[in-house]
Amino acid sequence: MTTTTLAPAQRPGGSAAAPARRPFALLRHSLALAGRSLTKTMRTPEQLLDVTLQPVIFVVIFVYLLGGAIAGSQHEYLQFLLPAIMVQTAMFASTAIGVNLNTDIKKGVFDRFRSLPIARSAPLIGAVVGDVIRFVVSIVVLLGLGFALGFRFGTSPLLGLSACLLVLGFSFCLSWMSVLIGMLVREPGAVQGISFIVMFPLTFGTNMMVQTSTLPGWLQAWVKINPVTDVMSASRALMLGGPTAGPVLHTLVWSLGMLVVFAPLAVRAYRRRT
């Protein structure tokens, strides 16, 4: 008589079912792959050129080109503009994850992950978490430049740090929208184009450069319902002073809403594509 040994059941992606069901398996796998993504970024620092040069270019152009005309003082305009630029640069940094994931899928990187005994969603979540380093770098570079040019917190360093964390959280939640676009669009170039089409009205259609009251009525209507306006107002309030509770609460609600909506849709699109 012969004895038949049954192998562990395999999931559709080729990974064993048992490891993926272990407690905290998804978290462990995701963090391990986030570390891989972080190591990859640090070994190729040219990937960070956009998040290091873009804030410098925006601050120099806007402050020295428009500061005197809008605020009458370049220093005062720097105080007003920098918290909003911080939001803008972090949001633009969030678009890269969709392009990178689309490129990796076309190259077959995620096909290799499917052969490993890990949760199927772990490579996706790990890539998104590891990409947070781009937001951190953009904020650090911007604040370093701002302080060199004369920007100072009008509140306290702790509240200034809170503003940075709030922007990081919002950008992380927003990055899931970029992931969804990257899963739905076939070419990396198209992902970048669509992402920028979405980001420009969200970032420039705000009170980033001027007060909302100075805008025409139809544009004020958009600015007031734009979630990015709340993020910029919250950053200014935490860094410079002013009403804080309302803008911060609205930012947290918008962040949670984007995460709840876009993360499941992105994961579902990822499973379909891989």
Q: Per 3-state DSSP, what percentage of the chain is helix, strand, and coil (rounded to 5)? A: 80, 0, 20
Predicted pLDDT at 67? 85
CA angle 110, 111, 114 (to 5 degrees): 90
Q: Is 232 exposed, middle or buried (0-12, 13-18, 19+ CB in 10 A)?
A: buried
- The Cβ of residue 74 has, within 10 Å, a number of other Cβ atoms equal to 18
Residue 3 resides in a domain = no
Residue 7 resides in a domain = no
Predicted pLDDT at 14? 44
Residue 5 resides in a domain = no
CA angle 247, 131, 148 (to 5 degrees): 65
pTM for this prediction? 0.83
Contacts of 267 (CB under 8 A, 6+ apart): 121, 124
Boundaries of domain holding 122: 17-273
Residue 231 resides in a domain = yes
Residue 258 resides in a domain = yes
Residue 257 resides in a domain = yes
Count of domains for the chain = 1
Predicted pLDDT at 30? 80
Q: How far apart are CA 226 and CA 236, in angstroms?
A: 16
Give, for all 274 residues of the chain, the pLDDT tens digit.
444 444 444 444 444 444 445 547 777 878 888 887 777 777 777 777 778 888 889 898 899 888 888 878 888 999 999 999 999 999 998 888 888 888 888 887 777 777 777 777 788 888 888 888 888 988 999 999 999 999 999 999 999 999 999 999 999 999 999 999 999 988 888 888 898 899 999 999 999 998 888 889 899 999 999 999 999 999 999 999 988 999 999 999 999 999 999 999 998 998 888 7
Predicted pLDDT at 259? 94
Residue 1 resides in a domain = no
Residue 123 resides in a domain = yes
